[in-house]
Structure 1
Amino acid sequence: MNCKLVTTALILLLGFSRLSLQPITSVISDCDETFNYWEPLNLLVRGFGKQTWEYSPEYSIRSWAFLLPIWGFLYPLNKLVNFDADWNFYVTRGLLGLGSFLLECNLHREIANTLSLKVANLWLIFQLFSPGWFHSSVELLPSSVAMLLYLGSIKYALRYLSRHSTSSFLASLAFNVIAGVVGWPFVLVLSLPLCFHYLCTHRLIVTMRTAFDSAVIIALITAVVFAIDSIFYGKFAPVSWNIFWYNVINADAESGPNIFGVESWSYYLFNMFLNFPLPVLMLSVIGLFHLRLWPLWSSLLLWISVFIAQPHKEERFLYPVYALVTLSASVGFNNLLQLFNRSKSMQRLIKFATISTVVIIGASRITALLVNYSAPLTVYSELHLSNSTSDHTVNVCTGREWYHFPNSFFLPDNHRLRFTASGFDGLLPGDFPEDGSLFSKIRQVPEGMNKKNIFDKGKLWPADNCDYYVDIMIPTDNSKDHYNPHIMPRDWHKLRCAHFIDVEHSKILGRAFYIPSVISDFLQSHFPKYWNKVYGAQKVDYCLFEKTHTSQTV
């Protein structure tokens, strides 16, 4: 495992995954990514997009500074190269994948230097076959970017714990402060154990001097970010403070995160089983007993404890500590293997069995995500292939499937997403204004927005004015949904369909993991009674309909 050839192979495989495979194939797992980040980015690049209440100047709890670096790359690229708008989506993912690749390589080198090359290589394997990292590392979310930046923080934390260097401590803190101020303020909690370690291991005068340096770093980063957001919103906009105010201080029964749903503590336990192969989770517990790295393990446990205590839970809330889970697992596995130093054959057997299991489970979960949930990306991509030459605005409508819309980069320049009536009774996104300068579009207070998730009928579009319609081929509630995809009017026809998992009629094992048909058919034929109870992956069509003037019956 400490062979340099193995290291080279792992680095190449990591580069292929982060720079090619993930940007093209990874699914969008959270509609918050679409409407709170891809849509505002589309506004910056192309001048239109859907707007959520968070971007209303009245609330201003989303940062434009977060999107500015990506816009700074995409905007000139669009001026120089004539490509379909959906390439902006893949280029952005490629940039995120590149950031992940570079930061992972740097941390791998630091692990090799401070721990061992064997631990570093194990860490790369666990990273490569972590389903959670596979999709989260190319997601345009503050929690994802915080996850990536925290790799830099871990790197310098390891160097600090190894060399007791103040400059390394400040570098670790700086990475996390950038993640917290630009994107998600809660990640600042992750630096508390390291700060406590520094306080306990340095003289008071040194600690005071470092505290001053830290304050200067925090103040400079905060000032730059607050200035950028204030320019965009046209008023003083401390977004990171606004986020904390909304989610913690001013949260109540009518506003705050809990109105979007609450979960029990087991939600994160189940989530971790889906995002990490079981051996990785088990080994990460062993790694926690490697006390030399206790500040990092304290950060992991503190983070999990804080978010388990919050009633509102989401998968992305755990992103920032994903690298700590795989690091703890690699340290734990290395320590476990050392127990069998006297029996090299047993050591090789355990190593082979564990890594093989991790690879199989991780690959199965990743493949299931791609096979079961990629239909929206496939279907909406058809709009750029349809060669629409209409001069007027083309309305692409969706009802109950609004939350699976990938983003407006999948729409040609003259196409706009519209929402038709469905059973959804929460607050739908509206539209950014399209007239005036960029700043005037952002600073205009939209109508019908609220922070209480109260439905606003002004966000709905008349279904008769739709040119395209997207829906999933499952039964509808005719009292709520305007169109029934099984019985569309005569002037509508299917333009493109793709397979999507039928959640209601599939078993959890079938939804979460991919098992090749050869193996599944074998188990089905030999153990039908037991296999049918645990595995089943039924598919339905996810379709794009086009309105025509023919008399064709769908």
Structure 2
Amino acid sequence: MNSNWTSVILFGAFVACRFYLQPTYSLISDCDETFNYWEPLNFLLRGFGKQTWEYSPEYSIRSWAFLIPLYSVLNPSMRILEAFHLPMFNLFYIARFFLGLFSLVMEWLFFEEIKSTLSTQTATFWLFFQVFNPGWFHASVELLPSSFAMISLLGSLKFTLRYLSTGAQDAFVKALLFNFVGGILGWPFVMILSVPLVVHYIFSHRILNTLKAGISAASRLAVVTAVVFAVDSMFYGKFTPVAWNIVMYNVIGANEKSGPNIFGVEPWYYYIFSLLLNIPLPVLLGSIVGLSNLRLWPVWGALATWLTVFLLQPHKEERFLYPIYGFVTLASSVGFSSFWRKWSGSKLTRNTVFLILLCSTASQALLRMFALVQNYKAPLDVYSHLPEASGPQTVCVGREWFHFPASMFLPDNYRLGFVPSGFDGLLPGDFKETDSILNSIRDKPVGMNNQNLFDSSKLVVTEQCDYFVDFMLHSDNEKDAFDPTNLPQGWKKLYSALFVDAPESKFFGRALLLPEGLTRLIPQQLQSRWSKIYQVKYLEYCIFERHREEV
């Protein structure tokens, strides 16, 4: 293979994905991203947004320091949008552009490190697997601590490879530093990924050298911790070690009434299905082969540690696997490169086999990414069509509250309101809208709890609603304030987009998007069987507008 030309083409695809395709078309896969990160970011920028219990000073398990880097680039961007009278939802896409930029820079630096410490061929395989990586496609532009940690860990992997190649203390300490940043500023649990690397250093160096490295690493950990804790403490108005609070809530202080398990539990094989959906099968198989490279055992040990720990946790979420995506693609690139070098057959056969494997990887990845865009992007489209209006406006949501993308999609005089829908968990409240951002953050909101207990004060009455967003689907739940198929007089549909009808679609129809022309080629006598495994149906995801009578 011509690695130089391949790298150039792949880098072009990289730029297109990270700078345009992902920021524009990637979905929001988790309401936690919206309400715990986009909403407080919007509050910092525009003075309003939804507030979750995690941001209550009573619990303070979310970091304001985590939002400051994006705030620093979005604040001047917002002034430019205001000057040119452009919609504020552009802030959302500008933020994603910078998230994509962060990912691209870290990935390219890691690519260069693989070239210098492993091989150009391995680096090229890695670049290919990163481009055609459905999990990375949406995770790298998500505003989540696990996403930030996922990208930061590329820096840790970069210096881990350098340390394993040279044995240098400086590389070892820098590997830990990137892990510290990803853990303290992002998600503290990722710090366990450095345990195998530390074990390797201890058993391969003299005690004096180990002590020196330990002191050097500890000093950097202290600096990172002090800076992040200081920023969060300034915001909350009291000493606030957010990373420690997260561990306390999710691990040490977790019980049957609070902790992660109250939000649902999943079987042990949940993560197997998650990996199969988000990483192409050839890549997963290649990663198994890559584990045979024992020189990199600290990297594989970190991967095994993470999977073991999180497989044992009852509460499972797809984003909990984000930090190891880079580890999996590295293992696969090592495996593919090893397989290529050790091939004993003819070159033609080898090239054919690898072409099939790479085409299979790209095909599965593209079909998955197309499905994510086609099936789940409707909320971003719909909320961007809210019209300008005079006076205060309330956009209401009921059973579809968790698909709300962000208050950045609301004009300045619009606010989000929750109406009754039968949901019996704790909905977000509102940050107090005052002249002082810090006073609002430090104020203890009413009706918050860490047990997911319902609080009726989070709801608004239907008379307040000027707009309503929901599926065009009959509601047989008597607790729903609105039935979109039988709205009160004066309401009309303003705009709609297609959203996958999950209950009426088959698994493969939701997971992969096959071109219609390809499905038509299936013989008629097999169509009935095919529809049993692949079928996708859509609902209208609508925004409705109330027309009030002029007084």
1:340 touches 1:346 (CA, 8 Å); kept in 2?
no
Which residue of structure 1 aligns with residue 248 of structure 2? 245
Cα distance in 1 for residues equivalent to 2:310 and 2:484: 40
| One-letter identity of the residue aligned with 2:416 | L
Pairing 1:281-292 to 2, within 5 Å after superposition:
281-292=284-295
Aligned partner (choices 114, 118, 121) of residue 118 of structure 1: 121
Deviation for aligned residue 1:525: 2.5
Deviation for aligned residue 1:464: 1.6
Partner SS for 2:417: strand
| One-letter identity of the residue aligned with 2:423 | F
2:81 touches 2:87 (CA, 8 Å); kept in 1?
no
Deviation for aligned residue 1:354: 0.2
| One-letter identity of the residue aligned with 2:384 | S
Partner SS for 1:151: helix
| Residue 428 (str. 1) matches residue 450 (str. 2) | no
Which residue of structure 2 aligns with residue 343 of structure 1? 346
| Residue 375 (str. 1) matches residue 378 (str. 2) | yes
2:422 touches 2:477 (CA, 8 Å); kept in 1?
no
Which residue of structure 2 aligns with residue 264 of structure 1? 267
Residues 178-209 of structure 1, C-alpha deviations (whole Å, 9 max, x = no match): 01111111010011111111111111000001
Which residue of structure 1 aligns with residue 31 of structure 2? 31
| Residue 85 (str. 1) matches residue 84 (str. 2) | no
Which residue of structure 2 aligns with residue 297 of structure 1? 300
Q: CA 1:346/1:396 → structure 2, altered by over 3 Å: closer, same or farther?
A: same
2:81 touches 2:88 (CA, 8 Å); kept in 1?
no
Cα distance in 2 for residues equivalent to 1:247 and 1:549: 47
Cα distance in 1 for residues equivalent to 2:445 and 2:89: 27
Cα distance in 2 for residues equivalent to 1:207 and 1:37: 39
Deviation for aligned residue 1:436: 3.3
1:27 touches 1:135 (CA, 8 Å); kept in 2?
yes
Cα distance in 2 for residues equivalent to 1:94 and 1:525: 45
Residues 228-285 of structure 1, C-alpha deviations (whole Å, 9 max, x = no match): 0000000010000000000000000000000000011110000001001111111111
Which residue of structure 1 aligns with residue 50 of structure 2? 50
Deviation for aligned residue 1:523: 1.8
Pairing 1:113-512 to 2, within 5 Å after superposition:
113-383=116-386, 386-388=387-389, 390=390, 392-512=391-511
Residues 90-118 of structure 1, C-alpha deviations (whole Å, 9 max, x = no match): 01100010011011111111111111111
Deviates more, 1:126-135 or 1:341-350: 341-350
Percentage of identical aligned residues:
50
Cα distance in 2 for residues equivalent to 1:147 and 1:310: 20
Cα distance in 2 for residues equivalent to 1:375 and 1:12: 28
| One-letter identity of the residue aligned with 2:204 | T
| Residue 20 (str. 1) matches residue 20 (str. 2) | yes
Cα distance in 1 for residues equivalent to 2:442 and 2:186: 20
Partner SS for 1:67: helix
Q: CA 1:244/1:337 → structure 2, altered by over 3 Å: closer, same or farther?
A: same
Deviation for aligned residue 1:521: 2.0
Cα distance in 1 for residues equivalent to 2:58 and 2:186: 19
Q: Which runs of 4+ in 1 moved over 2 A?
A: 79-83
| One-letter identity of the residue aligned with 1:463 | T
| One-letter identity of the residue aligned with 2:159 | Y
Deviation for aligned residue 1:366: 0.3
Partner SS for 1:100: helix
Give the TM-score normalised by the residue count of structure 1: 0.97
Give the TM-score normalised by the residue count of structure 2: 0.98
Cα distance in 1 for residues equivalent to 2:518 and 2:284: 26
Unmatched segments (≥5 aa) in structure 2? none
| One-letter identity of the residue aligned with 1:68 | I
Deviates more, 1:335-344 or 1:439-448: 335-344
Partner SS for 1:498: strand
Unmatched segments (≥5 aa) in structure 1? none
1:2 touches 1:118 (CA, 8 Å); kept in 2?
no
Partner SS for 2:497: strand
Partner SS for 2:485: coil
Deviates more, 1:400-409 or 1:280-289: 280-289
Deviation for aligned residue 1:334: 1.4
Cα distance in 1 for residues equivalent to 2:549 and 2:463: 16
Cα distance in 2 for residues equivalent to 1:549 and 1:178: 52
Cα distance in 2 for residues equivalent to 1:538 and 1:240: 42
Q: CA 1:419/1:533 → structure 2, altered by over 3 Å: closer, same or farther?
A: same
Deviation for aligned residue 1:2: 4.4
Q: CA RMSD in A?
A: 1.1
Q: How many residues align?
A: 547
Deviation for aligned residue 1:550: 6.8
1:492 touches 1:545 (CA, 8 Å); kept in 2?
yes
Cα distance in 2 for residues equivalent to 1:128 and 1:473: 36
Cα distance in 2 for residues equivalent to 1:104 and 1:199: 29
Q: CA 1:499/1:244 → structure 2, altered by over 3 Å: closer, same or farther?
A: same
Deviation for aligned residue 1:387: 2.7
Partner SS for 1:493: strand
